[in-house]
Chains A and B, each alone.
Chain A
């Protein structure tokens, strides 16, 4: 049996050090929910990308972690939100190699490929929220493409 204890959390994303806590929390929560090593690594890496975007592009924000389940399948849902400048052109931001700064431009598009469900909401001038979900086993429903 896997318990949801210690999975749900709301962590601030204000500094590089906070990114370390975010990764650590996601890794522990995924392990608790019975994620295999590969799924854990993928989700932690996606979380690392999204949290850094929240920090660097969004000017800081937070990550909320929720335990979700569907039938017997356990999942972890993460929401990264900021009140930064927002993204005017989502298609462009989501394309491989696009960066407005000095990055590789692989964070957002790569994170999307690393998780089972991906959803992004952004309002220019008001902020950005990215929600991702990963399931411990095969996803219980068809993959959502956004």
Chain B
């Protein structure tokens, strides 16, 4: 029996785990360096992986020291949050699903547990069990912290992509002298429609457009909010001296709009070509279509 186990001298499981983490810092980091999560992220040198592992061990020790093994918001984790999220993001980029990243994080636990069991071989079984449980909880919390960071990273990425989409998805096309068109694609939510309106109004001013065609072929759902956005854009263009034409209303959408009871107070045409024909006609520049007789 080791001497430190004299009655009343047993450290609390949390502090035992803390001391163990300090003591075995090097070995834990060495073993982690061989696990997929570290091995595949730190590819330049093994030392790099070991150093990164040590930082995580230190964080765990600090969390144990503050008796917060169950708290993902423990101050100790703040040092490693960014590193963990970068590691998670690297694995996602490599094509792993969140579940796979999560199980790679889970794989960090057994090597540490084995070391702990070896260290406490001589300790009373219930003490070993209590310490193992504490370590399990602590590693579970670490996993949670890592997943949280990875998810918020992912969220930020998708927000960025969304913003980019907002910008690229609204090209204004100049079809003719005085005629511009915007093909609307996807969900016309408030943010999108604000961008559409601004881009369109700028184009109307820049190109002295008298006609603006809003083509909604690529808009999957026209509900009352989308209709309201369309009508606001139409009204604003009118104030700038341009007439709007809405084109690309598919039959199913047309029927839905009627049932919904919406009154699109604007000129509509079935296709972009029809809308262009109408605008040209109004501008006095009729196109003669040899095959189709009169337009």
Contact = CB atoms under 8 A, between A and B. Distances in A.
Interface of A: 16, 19-20, 23, 27, 37-38, 40-42, 44-45, 48-49, 52, 96, 103-104, 106-107, 109-111, 113-114
B293 interface: no
Contacts of A109: 261
Given A45-B223, A45-B256, 7 more contacts: A40-B252, A45-B222, A45-B260, A49-B260, A52-B223, A52-B225, A106-B262
Interface string B221-236: 1111101100000000
A41 B253 contact: yes
Interface of B: 187, 189-190, 220-225, 227-228, 251-253, 255-256, 259-262
A27 B220 CA distance: 10
B224 A42 contact: no
A44 B256 CA distance: 10
10 contacts: A23-B220, A42-B252, A42-B256, A44-B220, A48-B221, A48-B223, A103-B224, A103-B225, A110-B224, A110-B261
Nearest to A103: B224
A44 B225 CA distance: 14
A48 B261 CA distance: 15
Interface centre among B221, B225, B227, B252, by most chain A C-beta atoms within 10 angstroms, is: B221
Contact of A96 (B190, B255, B261): B261
Contact of A49 (B190, B220, B224): B224
Contacts of B228: 103-104
A114 B223 CA distance: 11
Contacts of A49: 223-224, 260
Contacts of B262: 104, 106, 110
